[in-house]
Amino acid sequence: MPELPDLEVIRGFLEEHIVGHTIVTVEVVRPTVIRNLLGVDFAARLTGQQVTAVRRHGKFLLFDLASGNHVVLNPMLAGRLQYCLPDAGRLPRTYLVLTLDDGHELRYSDQRSMGKIYLTDDLARVPGFSELGPDALDPALTLEVFRERLRRFRGQIKRVLTRQDFVAGIGNAYADEILWRAGINPFRKRPELSDEEEARLYEAMRQVLSEAIAILRQRVGTDIHVEIRDFLQVHRRGGEPCPRCGTRISEITAHKRITNFCRTCQPGGLIQSGIRRL
């Protein structure tokens, strides 16, 4: 699943490469991911439009057009953007191809067909967008604001951290990384956290996400469709030694989601019965 660091690097790349360019042709290969909120012909409305900005909020990418309309991408679990010349092979299950005036194509593919592409003149009409909390890297999200928002929730801290109405942009993988950096067990309940642990969580969130963006900017290049996660410390590393203490990293599967953590570095937390452990 693309998360904040992945999408921020993609946003920066596209800001450099497509802003100021005009969409000259639009090919809707498969219309099932398109959500046209304007009630006009999707391809006709995009054709001839100049891209004026590429923005991001949480896990949404927003393409502003000269007309005042927006194309909003929510990639969900498996949505990918491909930026290339026309002779490059298309990724499996490519849904949309935009050809730009410099000859490059911007393509959207989705192996699970879960992502959505919205055309709108009002971001409030995009499902889920108005309910988003502040972006996890928003400078206005101070420790005090973070604490105030955090204390609205009472569930397990990992579930809270991945709620987009709490802060936007964190998914399963980076939640594991943030909690490991903070030394907090993912199954602890939010009210159990001390003031000092809340501060550690906030600092870990900022550090992990910022460091990941820096790494990805160096490694992604033009291959914005490739997901790079091999530098993560604990996520998807069940059974390997913890980089901090050497204890075997635990892996728990519950609700179709994998959680990885170190029982030594992240003590405590009640793990429910009936879930798979490694």
What band does 69 get if pLDDT is binned at 50, 70 and 90? very high
- Residues 252-268, buried b or exposed e (16+ Cβ, 10 A)? beeeeebbbbbbebbee
The percent of residues in the chain predicted with pLDDT above 70, rounded, is 97
**What integer is the mean pLDDT of 125-131?**
97
Cα–Cα distance, 73 to 247 (Å, whole number) = 40
pLDDT band at 276 (very low <50, low <70, confident <90, very high): very low
Asked if 243 and 220 count as a contact pair (C-beta separation under 8 A), the reply is no
Q: How confident is the model at residue 273 (pLDDT cuts 50, 70, 90)?
A: very low
Spatial strand order of the sheet with 250-254 comes to: 257-261, 250-254, 276-277
| CA nearest to 2, candidates 113, 84, 115, 161 | 115
Active site residues: 2-3, 59, 257
Mean pLDDT, rounded, for 7-14: 98
Residue 114 pLDDT level (bands cut at 50, 70, 90): very high
Q: Does 278 score more than 80 pLDDT?
A: no
pLDDT of residue 241: 98
Instruction: Quote the pLDDT of residue 256.
Output: 81
Give all domains of the chain, ordered by start, each with its CATH number. 4-125 (3.20.190.10), 143-277 (1.10.8.50)
Apex 6 CA angle, 154 and 217, nearest 5: 135
Give how far Cα 22 sits from Cα of 52, 146, 161, Å: 9, 40, 38
- Cα torsion 29, 34, 37, 40 to 10°: value is 10
Phi, psi of 82 (to 5 degrees): -125, 125
Provide the pLDDT for residue 274: 41
Q: Please state whether beta strands 250-254 and 276-277 pair in parallel, antiparallel, or not at all (unpaired).
A: antiparallel
Residue at token pair 């298309």: 90
Whether residue 155 is predicted with pLDDT greater than 70 in this model: the reply is: yes
User: Which of 26, 1, 44, 5 has its CA nearest to residue 220?
Assistant: 5
Q: Tokens 């569930």, residue? A: 155
